[in-house]
């Protein structure tokens, strides 16, 4: 069973852009209440779709470079990345269905 993995400025390139699987990338921070709200949803998505999609989270406080590169201004920001390109983006706490729809775009 897949789980949400943590990436950072050093590992993002290899684990997300270098992967042959598309990715759902959660930009979050420890102090962010809406980030904690969506964490169980992302965990469920990882468990359900982990064979086909990487679900990763990146802490914007400890890894600001990737967040800057993607223009992340508020968190949580969740990006769907396929073939190195952003194909979808959700900002803020959203219902589970919004995240599921995002994953389905990647499949």
The reply to whether 45 belongs to the active site is no
Residue 21: per-residue pLDDT: 96
Taking the model in full, what pTM does it have? Answer: 0.96
pLDDT (average), residues 30-44: 97
| DSSP conformational letter for 61 | T
The reply to whether 12 belongs to the active site is no
CATH architecture designation of domain 5-106: 3-Layer(aba) Sandwich (3.40)
Q: In this model, does residue 1 exceed pLDDT 90?
A: no
Angle formed by the axes of helices 33-49 and 96-106, to 10°?
40
The Cα 48–Cα 29 span in angstroms is 24
Domain spans of the chain, in order of start: 5-106
Output Rg (C-alpha) for the chain, integer angstroms. 12
pLDDT category of residue 34 using cuts at 50, 70 and 90: very high
pLDDT category of residue 2 using cuts at 50, 70 and 90: confident
List 35, 45, 75, 78, catalytic entry: 35
The Cα 97–Cα 9 span in angstroms is 29
List 24, 25, 32, 55, catalytic entry: 32
pLDDT (average), residues 72-93: 96
């Amino acid at each position: 069973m897949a789980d949400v993995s943590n990436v950072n400025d050093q590992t993002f390139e290899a684990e997300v852009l270098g992967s042959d699987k598309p990715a759902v990338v959660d930009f979050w921070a420890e102090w962010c209440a809406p980030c904690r709200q969506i964490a169980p949803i992302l965990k469920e998505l990882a468990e359900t779709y982990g064979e086909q999609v990487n679900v990763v989270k990146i802490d914007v406080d400890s890894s600001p470079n990737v967040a800057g590169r993607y223009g992340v201004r508020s968190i949580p920001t969740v990006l769907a990345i396929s073939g190195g390109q952003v194909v979808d983006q959700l900002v803020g706490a959203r219902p589970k269905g919004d995240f599921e729809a995002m994953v389905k775009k990647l499949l």
